[in-house]
Amino acid sequence: PKTDIVFLKVHKSASSTVMNILFRFGEMHNLTFAFPLGGGNQLFYPHHFLARFVQGFSPKSPRQFNILCHHMRFLQPEVQKVVSRSAIYFSILRNPVQLMESSFAYYRGASAFSHVRSLEEFLNQPHRYYNPASADSHYARNLMTFDFGFNPNGEVSAKRVQLMLEAIEASFDLLLISEYFDESMVLLKEMLCWDLDSIVSFPLNSRDSSTKSPLQDTIVEKIKNWNRLDWEIYTHFNRTFWERIDRDIGRERMQREVKALRERRAELARTCLQGMGSVGPKDIKDSSLRPLQHGSAKILGYNLKQGLDKETERMCRRLVTPELQYSSILYKKQFPQKHP
C-alpha cells in the first residue's frame, strides 16, 4: 500500500469525504500528516502553499510527512519540500455548474455574493458584484482553477488552457470526478494498492437537499461562461477519467468493483447508523459528531447506533466524525504537547 500522498482538497467537491478516507488510513497505519501551523484546518489558504505553513517543518532539517491533505492553494515546489519524492498526487473535480451553485449557498457571506438575492441575479451582472481584488473573490469564479494555483481571471485562450491542463497533468497522478464518486474510489484503490475497507465511506459535509433547487438552462450556460477555465479543466479530465477506466480496469470489472463498494457501504450503514442515513444538524444527538454549519447550507451528519461493542464503535465513529473534529484529534495525537 502507498503511504506517501498529496491530496489537493478542492472546495465543494466531495473532498471532505475523501479527507476522511485519508484520515482513517493514516490513523490506522500511524502515518504523519502535514498539519497547518497551530492545528488549523487550512494551510493559510487562499495564499499559495508554503512549506513553512506546516507544523513541525523547518528548512534547516526538512522533515517529510506522509499525507498532505488540508485545504491549500497548490504550489508544487513548496509541496515537494514536505513530502517524499515518490508521493502520489491526486485531486477531485466537480462539474462547475453544481460547484458554483454549492459555493453560492455555502459562501453567501463572500463579498461577491453578499449583496445579491439569488445566484441568477449575480450571473446577470457578475462584474457589478465581483471584484477580482477582493480577498475572497476566488469563491465566486473558477474556484478549481484557483485551488490548482492558477489565475481565475486569466484570459481564456486555447494556448493558455492547454498550458494549464499540461501543468496539472504533469503534477498529478490521478484526477477524480465527484459525480462518479464510487468509480473514483475504485481508481484510487487501484493506484494506492489499498483494500476495499480503506476506501469505503459515508458522504460527509454534504448539505440538505431542501436548500438545493434545479437550475434553468439559461443559468447553466451563464455559469459555464463565467467559469470557463473551470469548465475546460473539468471536461478535459472527465474525458481522461473514462479513458483511464477503459485502459486500466475495463467497464465490466469497474461495475463489479462499484457494486462491491456499494454493498460494503450499505453493510456498514446497517452496522453503524441509526436509521441508515444522514440527518439534519438539529437531529444529531452527539455534539462531537456535529459538522460545522456554514452560510445558508444545512450540513448533514449522522447518529451512531447505541450498544455497539468497543471495536465496532471505534470503527463506526471514525467513519462519521466531521473533518474539523477528526483533524483536531489527529493533531493532538501527532503533537501531544501542543493543543490547537
Residue 63 resides in a domain: yes
Q: What angle do CA 127, 132, 134 make, to 5 degrees?
A: 115
Is residue 323 within 8 A of residue 205, CB to CB? The reply is yes
**Adjacency order of strands within the sheet including 174-177:** 67-68, 5-8, 88-93, 174-177
Residue 318 resides in a domain: yes
Rg (CA), the chain: 20
Q: What integer is the mean pLDDT of 25-45?
A: 96
Range of the domain at 70: 5-93+161-211+231-334
Helix (H) or strand (E) holding 31: none
Q: First vs last Cα of the chain: how many Å apart?
A: 31
Is residue 211 within 8 A of residue 297, CB to CB? The reply is yes
CA-nearest of 125, 148, 129 to 46 is: 148
What does the pLDDT look like over 310-322, one tens digit per residue? Answer: 999 999 999 999 9
User: For residue 211, is pLDDT > 90?
Assistant: no
Question: CA 162 to CA 304: how far, in whole Å?
Answer: 47
User: For residue 31, is pLDDT > 80?
Assistant: yes
CA-nearest of 106, 98, 185 to 144 is: 98
Is residue 182 within 8 A of residue 261, CB to CB? The reply is yes
Q: What is the pLDDT of residue 148?
A: 98
The predicted model scores a pTM of 0.96
Residue 190 resides in a domain: yes
209/56: higher pLDDT: 56
- What is the number of domains present in the chain? 1
What does the pLDDT look like over 237-271, one tens digit per residue? Answer: 999 999 999 999 999 999 999 999 999 999 999 99
Residue 111 resides in a domain: no
Residue 156 resides in a domain: no
Residue 165 resides in a domain: yes
- In terms of C-beta distances under 8 Å and separation of at least 24 residues, what long-range contacts does 189-196 make, across chains too? 189/257, 190/248, 190/249, 191/2, 191/88, 191/90, 192/1, 192/2, 192/5, 192/88, 193/1, 193/2, 194/1, 194/2, 194/25, 195/1, 196/260, 196/261, 196/264
What does the pLDDT look like over 98-132, one tens digit per residue? Answer: 999 999 999 999 999 999 999 999 999 999 999 99
Q: Which residues pair with 88 in a beta bridge?
A: 5
Residue 113 resides in a domain: no
Q: What three-state secondary structure class fits 220?
A: helix
Residue 115 resides in a domain: no
33: left (phi over 0), alpha (psi -120 to 50) or beta: beta
Q: What is the pLDDT of residue 337?
A: 82
Is residue 120 within 8 A of residue 219, CB to CB? The reply is yes
Q: Collect all residues with Cβ–Cβ distance below 8 Å to 294 and sequence separation of at least 6.
A: 106, 107
